[in-house]
Chain A
Amino acid sequence: MVVKVYGPVAAACPQRVLACLMEIGTEYEIIPVDLQTGEHKKPEFLARQPFGQVPVIYDGDFKLFESRAIIRYLAAKHGGHIGSNLLGRTIEEKALVDQWLEVEAHNFNDLVYTLVFQLVVLPRMGKRGDLALAHSSEQKLEKVLDIYEERLSKSDYLAGNSFTMADLSHLPGIRYLVEDAGMGHLIRGRKHVSAWWDTISSRPAWKKVMHLLN
């Protein structure tokens, strides 16, 4: 069964899902959604995702949205042994994966989103970004990444000593920070965060996602 993924490859949340699909080696088909023309806010798409956001997946008749719910489902349904490792095997391992997934969602994601929106998206639309807002987000992100630095000085990956969904969930956001928003110093200036980024971004699965971008 081929999993259908609705969404543009260039967007962070579809990339989260694609990274998961590549890790578990599940066949997929991408159906692009044109965000520039507002396709995601039109009735046909809203019937798929009522909040008008990408991605949405269909696994046969089963439809799911919200990228972090999708990756959990895919790993459990199609991931086999690799999927179990990504989600955590024991109750405690699963809890630590969940904990760092929540950290990504609540302490990291919004700051990255603001930075990328103000420094990359608005200028691309020919508008001026709010530099003060970007700067304050950057300062907050510095403090968050100090905590990541401390964590990664004690374990190779966020939830322990193996790569999990918690690390995977960060890939799209960090790529945007480093490659598009000129915020590479946030990563490179921290020895353990930098080494972790190098490790997770050089995984074959992520390289396949990056290949799709070109």
Chain B
Amino acid sequence: MALKLHGIPMSSCTARVLLCLYEKGLQFELLPVDLAAGVHKQQPYLPLNPFGLIPALEDGDFSLFESRAITRYLARKHNDIGTDLLRSNSLNESSIVDTWMEVEAHEFNGPMESIMHQLVRNPILEKPTDEKIIEGEMEKLAKVLDVYEERLSKYKYLAGDYYTMADLHHIPYMLYFMRTTKATVVTARQKVNAWWNDIISRPASIKVSESLKF
């Protein structure tokens, strides 16, 4: 039975799952969710994600929400095909992957999300852009990227010398971010920039990049 992903390609969280599906070479159906009509906040969508957010996954009778839980599920279930995203054959390696997934979720995502809300979402909603917020969040992001620069001077990717889910989870927001004037915070850091250029040139990343348009 086919995998069904409820979401839209432009959504960073949906894109996170799409990247995983493409890396694994899995067949799936993307079922668009009409956000403007508030479909995600009502029945019949709510049982799939009671927080009224996208994406949600259906795998036969089983359903799941939270993009980072969905990517883990898909990578774990289909461990032996496509890219080895979780390094599950080694507990130590997979724990380091877990660590840098947590870093993405707790250190990187917060500032990145705030900046993208100011730079991209607010103009669309015809709300003002708060430069003070952008400045504060850019400072936090710069400090995080300093740590990444140090890390990536020792290893090719965040969890070691192999591409993993820890790198993948960064891609959606960065795809948008790198099109803004703030991208210099990445391009100015040699190792981070090289890492970014590497992960964005993967076939799965190119495919998702093409659909992340607004």
Contact = CB atoms under 8 A, between A and B. Distances in A.
B65 interface: yes
B43 to A, nearest CB: 13
Contacts of B110: 110
23 contacts: A50-B150, A51-B144, A62-B92, A64-B96, A66-B103, A68-B102, A73-B91, A73-B95, A73-B98, A76-B95, A91-B77, A94-B72, A94-B76, A95-B62, A98-B68, A99-B69, A102-B66, A102-B69, A103-B51, A106-B66, A107-B51, A110-B110, A151-B50
Nearest to B95: A73
Interface in B71-94: 72-73, 76-77, 91-92
Q: Which of A51, A68, A69, A105 has the most CB of B within 10 A?
A: A69
Interface in B104-154: 105-107, 110, 144, 147, 150-151
Contacts of B51: 103, 107, 144, 147
A77 interface: yes
Interface string A85-103: 0000001101110110111
Interface of B: 50-51, 62, 64-66, 68-69, 72-73, 76-77, 91-92, 95-96, 98-99, 101-103, 105-107, 110, 144, 147, 150-151
A66 B69 contact: no
B69 A101 contact: yes
Nearest to A150: B50
Interface of A: 50-51, 62, 64-66, 68-69, 72-73, 76-77, 91-92, 94-96, 98-99, 101-103, 105-107, 110, 144, 147, 150-151
Q: Is the interface of B mostly helix, strand, loop or mixed?
A: helix
A48 B89 CA distance: 26
Q: Which of A99, A101, A150 has the most CB of B within 10 A?
A: A99
Contacts of B103: 51, 66
Top 7 closest pairs, chain A to chain B, by CB: A66-B102, A102-B66, A69-B98, A98-B69, A95-B73, A99-B69, A73-B95
B99 to A, nearest CB: 4
A69 B101 contact: yes
B63 to A, nearest CB: 10
A105 B91 contact: no
Given A51-B144, A91-B73, A95-B72, A77 B91 contact: yes
Contacts of A98: 66, 68-69, 72-73
B50 A92 contact: no
B64 A95 contact: yes
Contacts of A106: 66, 105
B76 to A, nearest CB: 6
B164 to A, nearest CB: 13
Contacts of A69: 95, 98-99, 101-102
B69 A64 contact: no
Contacts of B72: 94-95, 98
Contacts of B62: 92, 95
Given A99-B66, A99-B69, A105 B99 contact: no
Contact of B99 (A65, A92, A107): A65
B115 to A, nearest CB: 16
Contact of B50 (A77, A91, A147): A147
Nearest to A71: B98
Nearest to B66: A102
Q: Which of A62, A64, A66 has the most CB of B within 10 A?
A: A66
